[in-house]
A and B are shown apart, each in its own frame.
Chain A
Amino acid sequence: MGIETSKGYKQVIKWLKLSRKKPFRFQTDAWQYYAEGYCGLVNAPTGFGKTFSLFLAVVIEELNSRTEKKGIASKKKKADTGLKLIWITPLRALAKDLARAMREVCAELELDWQVSVRNGDTSAAEKLKQKKQMPEVLIITPESMHLLLAQKNTATHFHHLQCIVADEWHELMGSKRGVMAELAISRIRGIVQEKHPERLLRIWGISATIGNMEQALEVLVPYPEVFKIIIKADIEKKIKIKSILPDHIDMLPWAGHLGHKLAHKLLPIIHKSKTTLIFTNTRGQAELWYQNLLNLDENLAGQIAIHHGSIDFELRNWIEDALHSGILKAVISTSSLDLGVDFKPVDTVVQIGSPKGVARFLQRAGRSGHSPHETSVIYFLPTHALELVEAAAIKEAAKTQQIESRDPVVMAFDTLVQYLVTLAVGDGFDDQKIYREVKETHAFSELLPSEWGWIMQFITTGGDSLTAYTEFSKVLKKEGLWKVESRQIAMRHRLHIGTIVSDPMLKVKYLGGGFIGMVEESFISKLKAGNSFTLAGRVLEFIMVKEMTALVRRSKKKSAITPSWMGGRISLSANLGSILRKKYNETLEKNHQDEELDIILPLFERQAKVSHVPKSDEFLIELIHTKDGYHFFAYPFEGRQVHEVMAALIAFRLSRQTPISFSIAMNDYGFELLSEYPIPLDEANIKELFSPANLGEDIVGSINSTEMAKRKFRDIACISGLVFQGFPGKYTANKHLQSSAALFFNVFSDYDPHNLLLRQAYDEAFYQQIEEPRLLAALQRIQLSKIILVKAESYTPLCFPIKVDSLRENMSTEELGQRIERMTAEADQKMRPPHLKSRKKNDHQL
């Protein structure tokens, strides 16, 4: 039977007609499939009502069921109130907006539903209200879902639950937050099946276009017995991409990430647009741009704002409201405004610096021209010269729809450990039942009984008896269920639910009251009283730290240092990398239509003069000797992440013969090995060095020494509850329980080498950081390429950004003692206070 004949459907259509709207095909499809009991994934361009495709499906069903019940028993109506729909969103900014839209619909359809938001910003009073009476629709983050499961009597909340929707699923899926969502859904589904076996709990996702849509559905709905469908809208969103070009290439620096040189070209764009969203890649960059725009045009004061994750909730709220009402001319933002928020007045988007991937760029573009059939307009502002090529590459990728895949996270033991303790803090759990549920999720479908056994041991006895975890207490068996009895442990656990690990953050507050936002503790610790810094676009004078709060007052200074928040750096996608190599080809051959490539031509000519511009079938290596040592630069264009491993691999292979230490640097285009001794390298052995043979073995050899796993363990230790992050405002960490992830890594390596979390650190390093398949493909490509070896006199335009914009780590096959001996023997050896980054200074000398 078609849904069209139902009363609820007719009511919704009638309501849509009132505002002269007609549902899109994908929306009516979704309503139909939902009514038939399907689970699924909706994919449609932004601005076409993805939200309504699922929200209205649930509403229609409700309207229909009310009609049916009216005749039978009108008395029962009261008992029917309760949670019907859980709507998972990755971002807090999205929640408010969604709630507003949903409430509007309910009001106009005269549906007496409550729509509430629950996330880190929700007040205690509101949470209490929800506990007493759950709203019909709950908009929630994965973290808050777990917090809900950490409460007593959770099961009672789900008596009327019909549907769980994971919004922006493509965004969640690739992270451990996606695993959190998978686990929470598995539990809620388990509760519903147990209490109401007759009910069909439907699980739906909403996703932007990604390369692996089918897999995205499998991850969200891994259950073989349900009907599943992907509903893809056959509508195309028009996007206009335009680069902000310098008049001459010399206007752009060779390296850098700020792009202030082109700021003046941004002003006319802001002025002629209604509202502009300006995206930067880091929070620090956003702060700097805010200051910079104000310096350039004082008239913008009061008309521009800054929005990022470290800014106080109230302020962010105000900015979002102001965006809706259109009183702001421009908002500078990080990924905090990336996703689905629909700000109608926004007609222009600007991306500052490389977006690193096609999907992200298109997503940001979609923030403008949000209504159906409007054109999205996005400007790309390059921060250094070589990014012009990226602009050209992105334009091509957007045209040909070459969009990246998102790989789901699997076997995240740390998240599982956290989840089990969460359940133990709540109502307790039955290990047999939960094992079956966990095993059914995509993330843990490969979980072995022995691994499950280890995890249960880890949270109940600490570890195996060989290492004697005497006196350990955490999760205990009480009345057949595993529970956390200690209130202290339970409280600490609740405070640490989540998988986003950052440096300890301090709240920043005016001396006279009023929160401004948060900054990393490590940044504040470097400030002295009287120093100034910027946050939320304000110049603040630091006074002191008191109880995990940094007290400040307004500073009279015009400019100040900007805190650097340590977010993870995004790596260039493989997809973009390959288009980029093609664009390098086209630049010198001049067989292209990209204005960006015309502009960069002089720089390429210079590169060609001092070294060489690699064509897509060539592999360039530059050898340069400076007073810093012997540099080896290679340019695979595979992204920072792959380069990091490739560099370690090459360093390992080079040092296998003669012990030699390297310092490694990389960016998205290539990597550098720096040694104090000449690097034994010539045309003959390059292909051998970059050979895909014995890759797995050599990677293991090289990452063991690079301590990549140790770095990964930092997050794992936090997520699994070994190490606690400080929480702004609610700092409860016991002084006697302070420790560090690195310490745990060493301790486990020495005393408990079979620890699964340790293995996870290595696995994460291997699969996520190393991306072995991608590395293999890159090496195979290099084997087929023509090797160009250039001995350059000084730094070249290509290598310069690597020198400046680099993450570094050490790599050595020398024995520790040997290394220390040599390092200390060096005449110019000196100790530097850790906070002085004096290397930066040297780097800028050409």
Chain B
Amino acid sequence: MTISCNGEELILNKERAIYWPAKEMLIISDLHIGKSAHFRKHGIQVPANIGNDDLERLGKLIGFYDPKTLVITGDMFHHKINSDVTLFSEWRKKFGGLKISLIKGNHDLLKSQEYQSLNIDLIPRELISAPFRLIHEQPKSLEKDEYYTISGHIHPGVTIYGKARQRLNLPCFYFGEHHAVLPAFSAFTGLSRIQPEKNDRFYAITPSGIIAV
């Protein structure tokens, strides 16, 4: 689905990514590589294939859009180096020409040389790419300026209500008046619901496609 935001054309993909054609930029958030392995290390049974699948999906997206840059708005790695990260470094070699920029999120705790060795640009706080500001977590008291903020972090979900009191929880893209929130890319993430305000737009992600709600 293609939407217009601050005069820019953005493509929302149901694989939980935004493609920005003007900049040839693919934007995702909350990849949480290593989350499942982190759980396993601590004695919680999470299948390993789940991390693999996330990367496979990402690979397909890259193959489809052929972007110059992949921007990850935070939480690319979950905590520490583990076997899932090794998996990623293998994956990384397949896309050697792709520039990957990571805006540091609260889970991104690797050492800077580790990011270097994975060929990832680490951006400490935010990436300004007019008219957008890409950041991990929407600051609580953000002064309104000329940039429209796109963030991740909260894993937004939306509840759709139908007649006869039906209800569905789905991951979503959120576009508010001054900022947008990306859905978490990883399948091994939960959802937190956003309180809608006036003029907010929600794009729910379903297995078959994206729908505006």
Contact = CB atoms under 8 A, between A and B. Distances in A.
A752 B107 contact: no
A469 B48 contact: yes
Interface residues of A, number: 60
Nearest to B82: A471
Interface string A674-712: 111000000000000000000000000000000000000
A272 interface: no
B120 interface: no
Contacts of B64: none
Contacts of B50: 747, 750-751
A740 B157 CA distance: 14
Contact of A473 (B43, B164, B202): B43
Interface in A721-747: 721-722, 734, 736-737, 739-740, 742-744, 747
Contact of B83 (A470, A628, A739, A829): A470
Interface in B193-207: 193, 195-196, 202, 204, 206-207
Contacts, number: 153
A469 B40 contact: yes
Contact of B190 (A463, A486, A739, A808): A739
A458 B45 contact: yes
A750 to B, nearest CB: 8
Nearest to A842: B165
Contact of B44 (A628, A722, A751, A826): A722
Contact of A821 (B79, B164, B211): B211
B47 A463 contact: yes
Contacts of B188: 739, 743, 747
Nearest to B79: A736
A232 interface: no
A661 B166 contact: yes
Nearest to A628: B164
Given A737-B39, A817-B206, A468 B49 contact: yes
A586 to B, nearest CB: 36
Interface in A807-843: 808, 810, 812, 816-817, 819-824, 826, 828-834, 839
Contacts of B144: none
A431 to B, nearest CB: 18
B175 to A, nearest CB: 14
A674 B164 CA distance: 6
Contacts of B159: 831-832, 834
Contacts of A740: 190
B213 A810 contact: no
B38 interface: yes
A722 B202 contact: no
A823 B202 CA distance: 15
A450 interface: no
Contact of B43 (A463, A721, A821): A721
B179 to A, nearest CB: 18
B78 interface: yes
B161 A810 contact: no
B167 A817 contact: no
B94 interface: no
A817 B163 CA distance: 16
A471 B195 contact: no
B202 A816 contact: no
A162 interface: no
Given A674-B165, A737-B39, A721 B160 contact: no
B161 A473 contact: no
A817 B48 CA distance: 29
Contact of A472 (B41, B165, B187): B41
Interface string A177-198: 0000000000000000000000
A209 B44 CA distance: 42
Interface in B136-171: 158-168, 170
A832 B204 CA distance: 15
B48 A489 contact: no
Contacts of B164: 628-629, 661-663, 674-676
A467 B158 contact: no
B134 interface: no
A307 interface: no
Nearest to B165: A663
A471 B83 contact: yes
Interface in A629-654: 629
Contacts of B41: 471-473
B40 A470 contact: yes
Nearest to A815: B208
A346 B5 CA distance: 70
A826 B162 contact: yes
A202 interface: no
Interface in B165-190: 165-168, 170, 187-190
A474 interface: yes
B55 interface: no
B37 interface: yes
Nearest to B43: A474
Given A469-B47, A821-B211, A743 B189 contact: yes
B46 interface: yes
A462 interface: yes
24 contacts: A458-B45, A462-B46, A463-B45, A463-B47, A472-B40, A489-B42, A628-B163, A628-B164, A629-B164, A661-B166, A663-B165, A676-B164, A736-B79, A737-B38, A740-B190, A747-B47, A816-B206, A817-B206, A817-B207, A819-B162, A823-B162, A824-B211, A831-B159, A832-B159
Interface of A: 458, 462-463, 467-475, 484, 486, 488-489, 492, 628-629, 661-663, 674-676, 721-722, 734, 736-737, 739-740, 742-744, 747-748, 750-752, 808, 810, 812, 816-817, 819-824, 826, 828-834, 839
6 nearest A-B pairs in the assembled complex, by CB-CB distance:
A823-B162, A474-B43, A751-B47, A817-B208, A467-B47, A472-B40
